[in-house]
Structure 1
Amino acid sequence: MPRHEFQPGKLVAGLFLTAAGITYAGDAGGWWDTPWFAIIPVVTGGLCLAGAVAFLTHGIRRRRLRRRGAGVSG
């Protein structure tokens, strides 16, 4: 299996969307009552946090690549 780079932004988005799905599944199963609008801040917040994590990860990887490239060419 080929290796791929870890993308923590996708992990964060997946966790928040899974939490939203579990919340609605619990509501559908009758375990608790969830208002329809309760999921909006969970999904929106999760996607915003995932975007911030992806942006930060991209910056860190770019900086490491630039630093690694500068050391090799010298």
Structure 2
Amino acid sequence: MRRHEFEPGKLVVGLVLLGGCAAYLAAARGVWHFPFFALLPALGVGFCAAGAVSFLAYLMRRRRSRGTEPTGPDGPGPR
């Protein structure tokens, strides 16, 4: 199996959607009551948070790749 990069934004989106599903399941079982329209703004805020996390991860990945020295065909560059 190929390794892939960790994408924290997708993790946050998954957690937001699982939270929304849990809220609707709790409302369906009668455990918790909330207005149905209250979940849409909460999901919107969660998606905005996921976008911010993705952007921060992109910036950190970009900074890390900029800090490495380029390597030539003979190995590491001069120091």
Instruction: From the CA coordinates, give the structure whose radius of gyration is larger.
Output: 2
1:41 aligns with 2:38: no
The TM-score, its normalising length taken from structure 1, stands at 0.87
The TM-score, its normalising length taken from structure 2, stands at 0.82
Show structure 1 runs of 5+ residues with no match.
none
Q: Flag the 1:33–1:5 CA change in 2: closer, same or farther, 3 A.
A: same
Equivalenced residue count is 74
Q: CA RMSD in A?
A: 1.7
Q: Which has the higher strand share?
A: 2
Identity between Structure 1 and Structure 2 (%): 46
Show structure 2 runs of 5+ residues with no match.
none
Q: Determine which structure has greater relative contact order: mean sequence separation of CA pairs < 8 Å that are 6+ residues apart, divided by chain length.
A: 1
